[in-house]
Amino acid sequence: MLREIFTENHMESNNIVIIKYNAGNIRSVDFALRRLGIIAEITDDPDKIRSAGKVIFPGVGEASGTMEYLRQRGMDEVIRQLTQPVLGICLGMQLMCGFSEEGNTDCLGIFDSEVLKFKAGKVPHMGWNALEGIRGELYSNMNQESYVYFVHSYFVPENQFTTAASRYGLLFSASMKRDNFYATQYHPEKSGLQGELILKNFLKL
Amino acid sequence: MLAKRIIPCLDVLDGKVVKGVNFVNLTEIGDPVEHGAWYSEQGADELVYLDITATHEKRKLLADLVRRIAVNINIPFTVGGGVNQIQDADALLSAGADKISVNSAVLMNPSLIDQIAKSFGSQFLVVAIDAKNVDGRWVVYRNGGRVATDRELFEWASEVWMRGAGEILFTSMDHDGVKTGYACKELAMLSDTLSIPVIASGGAGAPEHFLDAFKYGKADAALAASVFHYNEISIPDLKKYLHENNVTVRL
């Protein structure tokens, strides 16, 4: 029943890099990839990030301090200029936007969207919520109304880049896409089988 | 719509899942990771692992176990027991716990809540509160319900929230183990007062009890141990029942 994840033959790793920075939950993403047979490299080396087949930009934390950390190391430019598939998760997605109300922070500007604070309901928005209007490659073979796991206090309103929405008092972007940049507000690495499918779909790009 | 969560709780002693009544007559029933994986397959939304290991030396095993859980389980999990200082919280976070639950330690030292919330974020911190109705006053207990404190449930819950807890796990000691339902009135008061999620604990004996906890108790999640361990209630059946009764659940 239990998958012997460290002993099975690993899939071709395809050179997946997880960006290492001062944010939590990097390990959770690493573990989730291992469950899929992928050993990713966790690194903050710009050359390794630029030459990776795919890049994952995870994150749990606070926007202003994290952006400051990335800027000081020139990582903001590195991420902006990536051309391979990139997946931002949670705070990673918010940092890919233009501006966040969290600490009034200028972010990476990959998505021309603002990140706002939830003003109603219990905050953080924590738990399983349904995806609505899913579209695009991340959702191949997935049903509408699939549930994924969220933990966040700030949100990105629906916009031209939205590829799935969720409802918490209002509709917000559960995921976005622009060119090679993909982003999820939810945590695919904690979203059970649906989350595994989304990660697999990203790895297949 | 945000789904109501169903959370099985697993008691862990020396690295094994155990069950028993009020920590007496404990029987070893297996591996925490295998049990967790099984619950995840059944549709559990989250897991709580409560470490009841008595000695400090054996507690060190906990970080290894947490890592093994994190590597193998694909849903969020909380680890409770043995967090007395911020270093303990850090160790569990590093091992891969999504959240930790604290109880007695923060009753002894409430500022630990502020410290943990500030260092790791409120979403990482669940504060568990055990309380009992003593002549109309809900008295908070510590040390697994063995020691009464001078705290009152609703005041303590508000303080815990203000200090930065991300969730409250409320166990009514009057209802715990009796299987006649959760303390819905108190749950509703907590849920209406606090702007963080409230997890109901103590009293589940039938599917209707979960429905009541969500409908009347306004709980965001419901936790249970024995009804799931002994397979008295199956999670798929429970979720189907809740769905049919207009509770939003992840199916």
Q: Do B72 and A5 touch (CB under 8 A)?
A: yes
Range of the domain at A110: 16-204
A115: in domain: yes
Active site residue A187: yes
Say which of B72, B96, B123 has its CB closest to residue A28: B96
A30, A132, A151, A152, best to mutate vs chain B, most B CBs in 10 Å: A151
Nearest Cα to Cα of residue A183 among A192, A191, A174: A174
A10: in domain: no
Both tokens assigned to A57: 């930009």
A43: in domain: yes
One-letter identity of residue B171: T
Q: How far is A130 from chain B (nearest CA, A)?
A: 6
Residue of A nearest to B69 (CA): A31
Q: At which residue do the structure tokens 């028993």 appear? A: B20
Q: Do A147 and B3 touch (CB under 8 A)?
A: yes
Read off the pLDDT of residues A62-87 as tens digits, 9 standing for 90 and up: 889 889 999 999 999 999 999 999 99
Give the helix ranges, DSSP H, for chain B.
Answer: 32-42, 56-72, 86-95, 104-108, 111-120, 153-163, 184-193, 207-215, 226-229, 235-244
Q: Do B71 and A125 touch (CB under 8 A)?
A: no
Q: How confident is residue A10, by pLDDT bands cut at 50, 70 and 90?
A: very low
Active site residue A145: no
Please state, in angstroms and rounded to a whole number, the distance separating the CA atoms of residues B8 and B233.
Answer: 11
Instruction: Report chain B residues whose CB lies below 8 A from the CB of A167.
Output: 1
Say which of A3, A31, A126 has its CB closest to residue B70: A31
Instruction: Report chain A residues whose CB lies below 8 A from the CB of B167.
Output: 126
Q: Do A129 and B96 touch (CB under 8 A)?
A: no
Asked if residue A12 has pLDDT above 50, the reply is no
Q: Do B74 and A124 touch (CB under 8 A)?
A: no
Q: What's the mean pLDDT when you consider all of chain A? A: 91
Q: What pLDDT sits at residue B59?
A: 67
Instruction: Report chain B residues whose CB lies below 8 A from the CB of A147.
Output: 3, 250-251
Q: How confident is residue A1, by pLDDT bands cut at 50, 70 and 90?
A: very low
Number of structural domains chain A divides into: 1
Nearest Cα to Cα of residue A70 among A20, A113, A16: A20
Say which of A3, A123, A151 has its CB closest to residue B195: A123
Q: Which residues of chain B have pLDDT under 70?
A: 20-26, 54-59
Say which of A1, A126, A129 has its CB closest to residue B34: A1
Q: Is the peptide bond before A188 cis (omega within 30 degrees of 0)?
A: no
A6: in domain: no
Annotated domain spans of chain B: 5-244
Residue of B nearest to A194 (CA): B74
Both tokens assigned to B196: 């963080």
Q: For residue B189, what are the contacts with CB-CB under 8 A and spacing of at least 6?
A: B154
Asked if residue A199 has pLDDT above 80, the reply is yes
Please state, in angstroms and rounded to a whole number, the distance separating the CA atoms of residues B154 and B133.
Answer: 12
Q: Do A127 and B38 touch (CB under 8 A)?
A: no
A2: in domain: no
What is this model's ipTM? 0.93
Please state, in angstroms and rounded to a whole number, the distance separating the CA atoms of residues B149 and A50.
Answer: 57
Say which CATH number the domain at A48 has: 3.40.50.880
A8: in domain: no
Asked if residue A4 has pLDDT above 80, the reply is no
The CATH T-level fold of domain B5-244 is: TIM Barrel (3.20.20)
Q: Do B98 and A28 touch (CB under 8 A)?
A: yes
- As annotated, the active-site residues of B are 11, 130
